Amino acid sequence: MKSRLRLKEGWSTYFLLLIIHVLAVWALSAAEWADGLGLLMWVVFVAVTLGVILAKQRWLPGIISHILATLVGLAWTVFLVSNVLPGALSVKERMLALVYRFTAWLSVALGEGVSGDGVIFVLQLGILLWLAAYLGTWFTFRRQAVWAAIIPVGLIILINSLYAPSGVGIYFVLYLFCALLLIVRVHVLAEQTRWQKYRIAFSPDIAWDFLRDGVILSLIIVLSALFLPNALASPRWSDIWDHFSRPWQRVQDEWARLYSSLRSQRAQEGVLFGRALALGGPVRLSDTPFMVVQAPRPLYWRAAVYDEYTGRGWINSDRASATWPAGEYWPVPVFDAAQDITQTVKPLQSGEFRVYAAGQPIWANIPVAADVTYIGMSRGGVMISGLAEPSSIRALRAISPNTGYTVVSSVPAVSAGRLRATGTNYPAWVLERYLALPPGLPARVVNLAREITAGANTPYDACAAIESYLRREYKYNQLVEAPPPGVDAVDHFLFVSKSGYCDYYASAMVVMLRAIGIPARIAAGYTSGNWDATRQGYVVLYSDAHSWPEVFFPNYGWIVFEPTASEPLIARPSDEPQGLIGGGVIPPLLSEDEEEMKFGADELASTGQPAATPAAAQPPFLSGWRAVGVGAGALALLVGLGAALWWAVRLRRMKPAERLFAGLVWMARLAGIRKSDNETPREFALRLARAVGDSKAEAMFFADLYYRERFSARGAAPMDKDAVRRSWATVRRQIVAYQWKRVRRALTPKPRVTRMPIGRL
């Protein structure tokens, strides 16, 4: 019985594997992404145990074992996760409900909607953990490939630590410690097996020596990791990192769209402002400073706008893109009664690409790319085509925190009286895009909008009525739970939860305005922040992230409203244009001379706008595959230098004859002839001579030198340098010729053998 329960690798290997996968479950549970993550403990336990069983049996082929384990893992994970579903349902009903919800999530993933089903996230995470635990265990016990277990679970814990709230990093530290013990355990086991095969004696305490060296290596890696951010902070390395980080930003955008209900979805320091704005669960944003904006007055700093409501959130439907050079005005729509406001934005963190600006940005001193929709506008009876309405703007390279960027915006400065008199002569491109609502919008949302605006005589009065109603009747709450799956988020906010944060307030106002025929959209970015006299600018915190409605008024364009109860109302100018801010008191406009004193005379061109610096128009240092090539080349160079340094240090520690023999072994390895551990120097020299040709005397010459230097009681005699030089030249020539023959043999096409068919007699 004991022999059956005995593992060659030891039960310590099994428990270490189980611990590192359990640590992954604990880390995910501590992050509180969704309900039910604790059940995944049983997923990894069964996966690790089944991996040991299938790795030790020999009557099933590997591929059959993997298929069987996949089917068992899928059924077990679905059964466990189905217990998370609410309600008193039978096992069959739970399984069918889970299949239905996964199908709904898949349709969103393949389309353009927003998903808020946390149960599907738990299901997918369970399947991922099952595969990682089973395959890692199977490869460790079957082939001693411990990295198959170390790397996948390490990536899961690392990514969770980066995006989860603070306090879960301890799980990654514990994982590193257990992973180190596992690597040492499996490596020592493999070496002991090889030593026993060749009957090499070894000390039982050698495992402690390996552990000591592993701890030293780990310290070197940690110190290198601490040094690496400083190296990447240099401009050249930053250019390379920029190109690798852009695809990851797209991954984050898709994550926010498909898993909007996760509790820690927005628990990182800032908001992503991707292609989707999900109406999800609680938000926990830090008070860390994000950027400093130098501007003549406080405004809302917009990052993106969203036009398509899906019932669960908002989508930016722009599919076209445009690239605009530095220092040139952009072909964007500009409306009446607007003022040009100059802003200098300096992010406080490196790696930022997003361009933040008030109102409609029209100019920047850096090259940018924008997601746009091309429109046609009529101005003065003349149709203007080719205009691009941007929804989000990005810099072509990462923005330096030292220099930042300067952007000019066209900001509406329209009084309430003028907005009441605009009428409803909306352009066709506005009506086509900014009135759409999903067909499943509950009728009571539309009825409520009509009831609130029953006494409004103009679109502006309707906007003010809905704005006032939302601020008065609904409670601001950052810890609101996400709406249940299949429920319209705005309807849930208006009639069920009756509390939420800015995303819910703004969405409710835009949806109700569209329901009564007034075009509106969602804008997201940051509020103005607080004025800092020492920095001469507005310091914007991550917690200043905000979303708000923008309503279209003919001739005046997009006008900001503020329905969120926790924010001050938008201060409108009087009938004499004074400007528009995002809240607070309206300061007087600065004259051109005052603008020069604030931003510097050399930043203003003859047109009254900042002049682009020559450096801003320079193309990026690297682009496309050149960045990949340079990065791979730099990595190869570092590896080569490290190997060369290691080889040089090793040679310096050797005696002369030992150094010559090591060089002979290295040259033979290049020709595909490797010295085995159980070969003596003379045995290897004889095998090398037989392989490469007539060089037995020269090869044995180096072997004898090694023996005399290593084992002679009187020590090695002085070397004959001429004999060494002649023997080395002969052996080198023979090895090079042997290698050339191997290359020719590999490149020579083999003759095709034609077999005659054998017929029946």
211, part of any domain: no
For residues 154 and 301, membership in a common domain is answered with no
Domain presence at residue 559: yes
Residues 221, 15: Cα–Cα separation, whole Å: 26
Confidence of residue 207 (pLDDT cuts 50, 70, 90): low
193 and 280 inside one domain? no
The C-alpha R_g of the chain, in whole angstroms, comes to: 35
Residue 263: pLDDT band (50, 70, 90) is low
3-state DSSP assignment of residue 231: helix
Range of the domain at 732: 654-739
Please, what sign has the CA dihedral across residues 254, 258, 264, 270? positive
Share of the chain above pLDDT 70, in %: 70
Say whether both 418 and 558 belong to one domain: yes
Q: Which of 25, 20, 9 is nearest to 149 (CA)?
A: 20
In a domain, 213, yes or no: no
Strands 537-541 and 545-553: unpaired
Task: With beta carbons less than 8 A apart as the criterion, state whether 389 and 373 touch.
Answer: yes
144 and 292 in a common domain: no
Does the pLDDT value for residue 54 go beyond 60? yes
User: Rounded distance, CA 208 to CA 159, Å?
Assistant: 32
Residue with tokens 């930053």: 238
* pLDDT greater at residue 183 or residue 749: 183
Residue 427, domain member (yes or no): yes
List, as own/partner pairs, every contact residues 446-454 make where C-beta atoms lie below 8 angstroms and the sequence separation is at least 24, other chains included. Answer: 446/512, 446/515, 446/516, 448/494, 448/512, 449/511, 449/512, 449/513, 449/515, 449/516, 450/515, 450/516, 452/512, 453/516
**In the 8-state DSSP scheme, what is residue 283?**
B
pLDDT for the residue 324: 92
pLDDT digit string (tens) for 62-78? 788 888 899 999 889 88
Asked if residue 101 lies in contact with residue 81, where contact means CB atoms within 8 angstroms, the answer is no
Domain end among 598, 617, 636 = 617
Q: How many domains does the chain have?
A: 3
Report residue 234: phi and psi, to 5°: -70, 150
As to burial, measured by CB atoms within 10 angstroms (0-12 exposed, 13-18 middle, 19+ buried), residue 259 is buried
**AA identity, residue 367:** P
Segment (H or E) for 728: helix 721-747
Question: Bridge-partner residues for 218, per DSSP?
Answer: none
Q: Estimate the crossing angle of helix 721-747 against helix 681-692, to 10 degrees.
A: 50
pTM check: above 0.75: no
571 with 689, same domain: the answer is no
* Confidence (pLDDT) at 689: 76
- For all residues of the chain together, what is the average pLDDT? 77
Q: Is 84 exposed, middle or buried (0-12, 13-18, 19+ CB in 10 A)?
A: middle
Q: How far is CA 180 from the centre of its chain?
A: 26
How far apart CA 185 and CA 716 sit, in angstroms, is 41
DSSP class of residue 610 equals B
CB 308 within 8 A of CB 506: no
**DSSP letter string over 654-669?**
S-HHHHHHHHHHHHHH
In a domain, 747, yes or no: no
DSSP 602: G
Instruction: Give CA torsion, residues 541, 547, 553, 557, to 10 deg.
Output: 50
Q: Which residues pair with 387 in a beta bridge?
A: 375
210 assigned to some structural domain? no
- Write down which residue in 201, 223, 239 finishes a domain: 201
The answer to whether 117 and 105 are in contact (CB under 8 A) is yes
Comparing 57 with 6, the larger pLDDT belongs to 57
Burial class (CB in 10 A: 0-12, 13-18, 19+), 105: buried
DSSP classification of residue 329 = -
- Looking at residues 83-109, what average pLDDT do you find? 78
- Sequence length of the chain is 761
Nearby residues of 501 by Cβ (< 8 Å), 6 or more positions away: 283, 476, 477, 478, 480, 564
Tally of CB atoms within 10 A around 261: 25
Q: Identify residue 353 by its one-letter amino acid code.
A: F
Confidence of residue 224 (pLDDT cuts 50, 70, 90): low
Start-to-end CA distance of the chain, whole Å, equals 62
* Cα 416 versus chain centre, distance: 44
Please tell me whether residues 555 and 461 are part of one structural domain: yes
- Residue 604 is classified by DSSP as B
Name the pLDDT band for 600 (thresholds 50, 70, 90).
very low
Q: What angle do CA 505, 260, 481 make, to 5 degrees?
A: 60
Give pLDDT, residue 222. 47
**Which of the residue ranges 84-93, 224-233, 404-413 would you say has the lowest mean pLDDT?**
224-233
**H or E element, residue 551:** strand 545-553
Contacts 24+ apart (CB under 8 A), 202-207: none
Structure tokens at 398: 């990462």
pLDDT tens for each residue of 496-552: 999 999 999 999 999 999 999 999 999 999 999 999 999 899 999 988 999 999 999
The residue with greater pLDDT, 445 or 198, is: 445
Rounded percentage of the chain residues whose pLDDT exceeds 90: 28
The reply to whether 484 and 341 lie within a common domain is yes
DSSP string, 246-272: HHHHHHHHHHHHH-TT-TTTB-SSS--
In a domain, 446, yes or no: yes
Question: Which of 370, 289, 299, 277 lies closest to 330, judged by CA?
Answer: 370
Secondary-structure percent of the chain, ordered helix, strand, coil, rounded to 5? 50, 15, 35
User: For the segment 275-321, what is each residue's pLDDT rounded down to a tens digit?
Assistant: 888 888 888 788 889 999 999 999 999 999 999 998 888 988 888 88
In terms of Cα–Cα distance, which of 293, 355, 255, 222 is closest to 33? Answer: 255
For residue 473, list its beta bridge partners.
none
Identify the helix (H) or strand (E) that includes residue 409.
Answer: strand 405-412
195 and 270 inside one domain: no
Q: Is the domain of 466 the same as that of 351?
A: yes
Nearest to 411 by CA among 353, 357, 481, 486: 357
Q: Do the domain assignments include residue 127?
A: yes
Q: Are residues 268 and 191 in the same domain?
A: no
CATH of the domain at 374: 3.10.620.30
Q: Which two tokens stand for residue 381?
A: 């009876």
pLDDT band at 401 (very low <50, low <70, confident <90, very high): confident
- Asked if 362 and 309 sit in the same domain, the reply is yes
* pLDDT of res. 145: 83
DSSP per-residue letters across 25-87: HHHHHHHT-STTGGGHHHHHHHHHHHHHHHHH--SS-HHHHHHHHHHHHHHHHHHHHHTTS-S
Taking the C-alpha atoms of residue 576 and residue 578, their distance in angstroms, rounded to an integer, is: 6
| Pairwise CA distance, residues 28 & 122, whole Å | 10
Question: Cβ contacts of residue 504 below 8 Å, gap of 6+?
Answer: 279, 474, 480, 489, 490, 493
**Which pLDDT score is estimated for 676?**
73
Do residue 544 and residue 682 come from a single domain?
A: no
